[in-house]
Chain A
Amino acid sequence: MTMVTMNDALEGSHRKGRKFGRDLAGLAVILGLAVVGYLLFPNNLALLTRMTAIALLVLSLDLVTGYCGVATLGHAALFGSGAYAAGIAAVHFGLTDPLLMLGCGILGGALAGLVCGLVILRAHGLPQLVLSIALIHLFHEFANKASSWTGGSDGLAGIAPDPLLGYFEFDLWGRTAYVFGIVLLAGVFTLLRRIVRSPFGMLCRGIKEDPIRIRAMGASPKLALMKMYAISGAVAGTGGALNAISTQVVGLDSLSFTLSAESLVMLVLGGTGSLFGALTGTIVFMFFEDIVSAANPFHWLTMVGVLLVAVVLFAPKGLYGTVVGLAMRWREARR
């Protein structure tokens, strides 16, 4: 398991000023892309908002898979739990303030993260993967059966969020939702950059490489991973809540194996172990999906498959990771 953590390979030892600069650059890229997206696709903000929500899911997956080396194909459980928590809060408890719904989503996601962590972290490798698949099916079935709460296969409809901060209506064009989403993504991204660089982030990278070594240092890998799972759940729950607020409906697909697998595909596409990689993968995959499925509705999945095979074979570090690798080689050559 030596997937390169691109951020750190690039940053390595370098000074804090540079890192702060990269934080700002990352933020600028997110906001810049958001503006470009808004200008290019003013009639398709719903897609862009969904992309933002999924980006949060992929970032969350990156925390446990990319940074901690946990194999999971059930990460949508955290996303869906956040979505249902926000939706149920609005529909059944009348908590229609979007920030309260967001809070419920974060809490729901974090709780689901703890539950999934407790189960998944008991195993390693293939058994771990199988446990994660079993979990996502259990979550899915549970949501399906508890239809009085979740609406079952019809979905949980009738979510009507109040204006954001009592002022910004969630309009028909999805502008408010889009801006809300981008602000959330930018905030989460900045926070996660800090966390992955912190001593805790370093501890997690150590666990990914050699948990026995970490134990010999007197630290408990299990405890750290559980913490990371809770954080990851909070992030995925943020994405789920955003999805519930923006689409005003929560469907069983948000708790599906398909979404879990797709998010892993996006992460691998962009590059694991890097927050920028997670974002790149999400954007490329979802645009590709949108464009190709419009051009060829029958074979678009085949083309996504071809893209993925190409990336895994020729750019095993993912799109972002490969670009960073090339840039580093270029810089070393110039030295």
Chain B
Amino acid sequence: MSAIFEVQNLKRAFGGLTVTNDVSLAMAAGDRVALIGPNGAGKTTFVNLVTGNLTPDSGDVLIGGESVTRTNAIGRVRRGLVRSFQVTRLFQEMTPAEHVALAVLQRDGRAGRMFGHFLTMPEVMAEVIELLGKLGLRELMHRRVSEIAYGQQRLLEIAVALALKPKVLLLDEPAAGVPQSDTGLIEKALADLPADLAVLMIEHDMDLVFRFAKRVIVLAAGTIIFDGSPSEVTKDPRVREAYLGSYANASHAA
């Protein structure tokens, strides 16, 4: 299968510090990949480079085989690269229905329409109801976001991303800040993501990573030190060292 999303030799330095150093990866439709790495590994910078909020010093980002390195963040979204945020960025005064409707309308190029109301647009509402229903937010669709629980806000974040019908979905710590009791909801939502969607998840919660990902990429000090199956990642000495320092592999000597 050809790559729907590709990063080639991406490099970015701030001053003298190289934060992303020669990172390459490729994903096919339907891939479930987790990107992990210790604090300061350069995950945030990588996300910003990929989404177009930062320009790389060198390297390429491709969506569907087409280079988007020179395309700005908005253009990349329109080509099917959508992200969710680590800290929810939702409109507190608006309802879940409005969020999803806005995303649907924007995707169809109708968000600039100056007449009508989405509640009276049957095709928009059908999609809103279907999507919110799938994520268990149907009952809350007309409540204000400020009134709904954080775990549900995280689900709405996913709903907004899905409403844009992405080809590649970048999930930035989808379970961050969600109380333990609600992580099940997030996990279920992740399991139900469209099968043909390529998903790259950045996550700290290892349980979630192991349950979700078919492939794990470990980033440390700006470079990929591991790219393989979840079952092998914990055995890899370099990964252990990156997370635990040199104690990890020397411990048996003590």
Contact = CB atoms under 8 A, between A and B. Distances in A.
Interface string B106-143: 11001111111111100000000000000000000110
Interface string A1-38: 01011001100110110010000000000000000000
B142 A218 contact: no
Given A199-B116, A200-B112, A215 B74 contact: yes
Contacts of B164: 217-218
A199 B102 contact: yes
Given A12-B142, A218-B107, A213 B113 contact: no
Contacts of A201: 114
Contact of A13 (B97, B111, B160): B97
Given A12-B95, A16-B119, A215-B73, 7 more contacts: A2-B92, A15-B119, A199-B105, A202-B94, A202-B102, A213-B91, A219-B106
Contact of A199 (B90, B110, B141): B110
A121 to B, nearest CB: 16
B93 A5 contact: yes
Contact of A19 (B51, B94, B117): B117
A324 to B, nearest CB: 14
Contacts of B214: none
A236 to B, nearest CB: 18
Contacts of A198: 113-117
Interface string A191-205: 000110111111101
B95 A203 contact: no
A182 to B, nearest CB: 24
Contact of B82 (A4, A16, A216, A220): A216
B101 interface: yes
Interface of B: 51, 73-74, 77-78, 82-83, 85, 89-95, 97-98, 101-103, 105-107, 110-120, 141-142, 144, 160, 164
Given A13-B95, A198-B117, A209-B94, A224 B112 contact: yes
A13 B99 CA distance: 13
Nearest to A219: B106
B74 to A, nearest CB: 6
8 contacts: A195-B114, A198-B115, A200-B111, A213-B90, A217-B103, A217-B106, A217-B164, A219-B111
Q: By CB atoms of chain B within 10 A, which of A16, A197, A215, A216 has the most? A: A216
B93 A202 contact: no
Q: By CB atoms of chain B within 10 A, which of A203, A210, A213, A227 has the most? A: A213
A163 B229 CA distance: 82
A216 B85 contact: yes
Interface string A211-243: 011011111100010010000000000000000
B142 A13 contact: yes
Nearest to A19: B117
A5 B157 CA distance: 22
A305 to B, nearest CB: 30
